[in-house]
């Protein structure tokens, strides 16, 4: 893909790019909505990537083009970049440039051509991939010397402030920091990380991603409401973040919340979800991949019943996969549509796939997009080449 992207760059901008970079989308194995509660998450990178061909400019101009969106090159002046003013895809790369400059990094312009294979609207972090690939390219070209976690923080700032979405740090860190063949055990409080080997194939297993191809329109507002509810819970319990409520003290904490029924449900999800991440880490370390199945199922029930961010399509995907023999299944990502994952014996992939296709057809839902996810590398430079190299 990198050569095609470099060639297209040359067609658009007249000379070859200074380099080509890639950043992946992600699947989250477990640890949902814990990231803005200073908790634990466990994503891994997908083989699907956003690829960017990039060259520097010195004249304060940012030119952006995407192979995936109709329309020509968008030209912006760096001095004009203003948070909250761009509702298009260009807000992600422009937001990164804004965040870098706002943090004092001497970025003087860029020509960018992007092409992505990360499905959009599927809860697989296509926007984080766009942000991270641009951040990494500029970090390399401008020799900023930023650490991967610093790039993730800058990209989160772009998303929170420039784009205006109140998301946590998981997606950008996953895209920037994941490693091939591993899931990333991330403590979102201090961004400390452990790479946990996650070799599905060696265990005769597969992880199916079920992109329901629906994104319910209220999802953004509901995300913000859950976040505010969690913050209210932390305030009522007198802790900095719900991460600070130990699992062993959950019942006492819930009792203190009294009749705050909604907050009780949110707190219960976050505290039990953090414990589930720790359980999955322990099981993977012990080489017991199959045993994570029931933990994934518990996680889905908690997201459906307590956090209330599932939807009929996601529940159907999970229930059908389990009924067809999956060892575990859950929704993944922000919720209200997007994707589910199912942990499946290699020999059962066809059965589960067929069951999902039939169940969605019988329910009158759009046919899901199904693929197998293998833990892939995080963001990286693909080559140094201009098209002549």
Interacting residues toward ligand GLA by CB under 6 A: 28, 32-33, 35-36, 167-168, 170-171, 333-334
Least distance from ligand GLA to the Cβ atom of residue 333, Å: 5
Nearest of 2, 3, 6, 1 to residue 111 by alpha carbon: 6
Q: How far is the CB of 163 from ligand GLA (least distance, A)?
A: 11
Residues in the chain: 389
Report helix, strand or coil for 66. Answer: strand
> Using CA atoms, how far apart are residues 32 and 69, in angstroms rounded to an integer?
30
> Which residues are CB-contacts of 135 (< 8 A; sequence separation ≥ 6)?
96, 100, 146, 151, 154, 155, 176
Q: Is 309 or 327 the residue whose CB approaches ligand GLA more closely?
A: 309
Tokens of 92: 């992600």
Please count the other Cβ atoms lying within 10 Å of the Cβ belonging to residue 227. Answer: 17
Instruction: Select 8 or 276, whichever has its Cβ closest to ligand GLA.
Output: 276
Nearest C-alpha neighbor of 126 from the set 165, 98, 100, 161: 165
- Rounded to whole angstroms, the maximal C-alpha distance in the chain is 68
Looking at the Cβ atoms of 37 and 66, the one nearer to ligand GLA is 37
Pairing of strands 61-66, 109-116: parallel
Task: List the end-to-end C-alpha distance of the chain, in Å, as a whole number.
Answer: 16
CB of 8 or CB of 226, closer to ligand GLA: 226
**How far, in Å, CA of 357 to CA of 229, rounded?**
36
Q: How far is the CB of 171 from ligand GLA (least distance, A)?
A: 5
Q: Are 55 and 387 in contact (CB under 8 A)?
A: no
The least CB distance from residue 184 to ligand GLA, in Å, is 13
- Residues identified as active-site: 171
Between residues 94 and 155, which has the closer beta carbon with respect to ligand GLA?
155
Stated as kind and residue range, the H or E segment containing 160 is none
Site of tokens 């920037």: 176
Minimum separation from the CB atom of position 38 to ligand GLA (A): 12
Q: Among 369, 363, 383, 378, which residue's Cα sits nearest to residue 340?
A: 369
Cα angle at 292 between 288 and 298, to 5 degrees?
160
At 267, list the tokens.
């707190």
Residue nearer to ligand GLA on the CB measure, 66 or 219: 219
d(CA 78, CA 300): 43
List alpha helices for the chain, DSSP H. 2-13, 91-102, 126-141, 148-157, 170-177, 219-237, 250-257, 261-285, 293-301, 312-323, 349-362
CB of 378 to ligand GLA, least distance (A): 16
Extract the tokens encoding 365: 């839902």
Report the residue number, 173 or 353, with the smaller CB distance to ligand GLA: 173
∠ Cα 27 222 317 (to 5°): 45
Shortest reach from residue 128's CB to ligand GLA, in Å: 7
In angstroms, give the least distance from the CB of 110 to ligand GLA. 25
């Amino acid at each position: 893909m990198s050569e095609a992207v470099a060639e297209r760059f040359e067609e658009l901008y007249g000379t070859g790019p200074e380099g080509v970079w890639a950043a992946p989308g992600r699947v989250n194995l477990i640890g949902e909505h814990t990231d803005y509660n200073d908790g634990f998450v466990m994503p891994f990178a997908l083989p699907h990537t956003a690829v960017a061909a990039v060259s520097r400019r010195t004249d304060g101009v940012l030119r952006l083009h995407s192979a995936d969106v109709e329309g020509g090159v968008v030209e912006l002046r760096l001095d004009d970049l203003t948070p909250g003013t761009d509702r298009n895809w260009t807000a992600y790369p422009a937001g990164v440039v804004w965040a870098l400059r706002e943090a004092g990094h001497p970025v003087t312009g860029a020509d960018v051509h992007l092409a992505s294979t990360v499905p959009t609207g599927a809860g697989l972090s296509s926007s984080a991939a766009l942000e991270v690939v641009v951040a990494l390219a500029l970090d390399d070209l401008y020799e900023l010397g930023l650490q991967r976690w610093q790039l993730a923080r800058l990209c989160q700032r772009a998303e929170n402030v420039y784009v205006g979405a109140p998301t946590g740090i998981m997606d950008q860190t996953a895209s920037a920091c994941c490693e091939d063949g591993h899931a990333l055990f991330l403590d979102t409080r201090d961004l400390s990380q452990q790479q946990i080997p996650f070799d599905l194939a060696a265990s005769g297993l597969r992880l199916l991603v079920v992109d329901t191809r629906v994104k319910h329109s209220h999802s953004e507002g509901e995300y913000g409401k859950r976040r505010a509810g969690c913050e209210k819970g932390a305030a009522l319990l007198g802790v900095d973040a719900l991460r600070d409520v130990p699992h062993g003290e959950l019942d006492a904490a819930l009792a203190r919340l009294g009749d705050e029924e909604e907050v009780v449900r949110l707190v219960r999800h976050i505290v039990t979800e953090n414990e589930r991440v720790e359980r999955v880490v322990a099981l993977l370390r012990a080489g017991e991949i199959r045993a994570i199945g029931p933990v994934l199922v518990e996680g889905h029930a908690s997201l459906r019943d307590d956090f209330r961010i599932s939807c009929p399509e996601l529940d159907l995907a999970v229930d059908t996969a389990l009924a067809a023999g999956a060892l575990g299944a859950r929704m993944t990502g922000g919720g209200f549509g997007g994707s589910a994952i199912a942990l499946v014996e290699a020999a059962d992939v066809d059965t589960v796939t067929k069951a999902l296709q039939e169940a969605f057809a019988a329910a009158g839902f759009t046919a899901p997009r199904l693929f197998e996810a293998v833990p892939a590398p995080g963001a990286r430079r693909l080559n140094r080449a201009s098209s002549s190299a």
